[in-house]
Amino acid sequence: MERTGGGLCAGRVVAVTGAGRGLGRAHALAYAAEGARVVVNDLGVGPDGAPAPDSPAARVVREIEEAGGTAVAHGGDIAAPDGAASLVDTALAAFGRLDTLVNNAGFLRDRMLVNLAEDDWDAVLRVHLTGHFLPLRQAAAYWRAEAKAGRTVTARVVNTSSGAGLAGSVGQGNYSAAKAGILGLTLVAAAELARYGVQVNAIAPAARTRMTEATFAATMTAPRSGFDAMAPQNVAPLVVWLGSGTPSAGVTGRVFEVEGGRITVMDGWRPGPTADKAARWTPAGAGTAVRELLARAEPPRPVYGAGR
């Protein structure tokens, strides 16, 4: 981590969930390098959500401090109301404010649908989707109170979805559903919180982490010209910019795919070809109309792992 003069996020307080490793760690280090004070959250569990022997949050805090930055560790469960509340409370107690929330925590329990147990479904939705909702709700309540008290709020939220949420992924019905839900939550939060000075966006990153190492292992090639396209550090610059104050002003309710050196604005669900009879269709007539519409429509994005 190299600190830059002043920094894009100088003076801001940023909380990053799941920041002990992978993408979250890269985000935390990048924010600190740009002058932010960082709350490093990590529950310290394995990639399947089971308890790990030690929490990495303190190690990331030490990395930030050794580079001249400022950070505190938070080990609470952000998918539980008390843990989400203590995340915001930690920022306020340590730094007196909270400006940016990066929701990143997650894990996998992959199964084909016919083998997917309810516990595995519930656990993944809890950590990914509820783990976005609860910290967002807690932070939003703080920012709303600040705005109502007459104080200027320049708050930012960066949520973490996935290509699985945009297109689906074979063997990841629980994960895909949770990540798609995060996109819906992002759009609603952006609309509801704008009046309080809060911008909410989402990313769909592709990077090599504990969650994706098995996926990328078969397709990984040696970095060209020293550039490792799958490094988590490639995603962090966009996340830092989205979490900044004035530089990112006016950008909200958007979803970005980011991988290596590529950033793409995702358009989401938009109306395609339409047929309007101005009367009730018969089943056969509806079928004929659908066939004609599909012939004019763009083909859907392939589901990951479908072998097309």
The partner residues of 198 in beta bridges, in order of sequence, read 155
Whole-number percent of the chain with pLDDT over 90: 81
Our answer to whether residue 162 is catalytic in this structure is: yes
Annotated active-site residue 175? The verdict is: yes
Select which of 55, 142, 161, 175 is catalytic.
175
Domains delineated in the chain = 13-266 (3.40.50.720), 273-308 (no CATH)
* pLDDT tens figures, 161-213: 999 999 999 999 999 999 999 999 999 999 999 999 999 999 999 877 555 55
Q: State the pLDDT confidence band at 306, using cuts at 50, 70 and 90.
A: confident
Kindly name the residue from 86, 162, 169, 176 that is annotated as catalytic: 162
Spatial neighbors of 54 by CB under 8 A, at least 6 apart, are: 44
Q: What digits encode the pLDDT tens for the residues 33-68?
A: 999 999 999 987 666 555 565 679 999 999 999 999
Adjacent-strand bridge partners of 39: 15, 72
Q: Is 244 a catalytic residue?
A: no
Report the C-alpha gap between 285 and 96 in whole angstroms: 63
Strands of 198-206's sheet in order across: 70-74, 37-41, 13-16, 100-102, 155-160, 198-206, 255-259, 262-266
Give dist(CA 173, CA 109) in Å, integer.
Answer: 10
3-class state of residue 3 by DSSP: coil
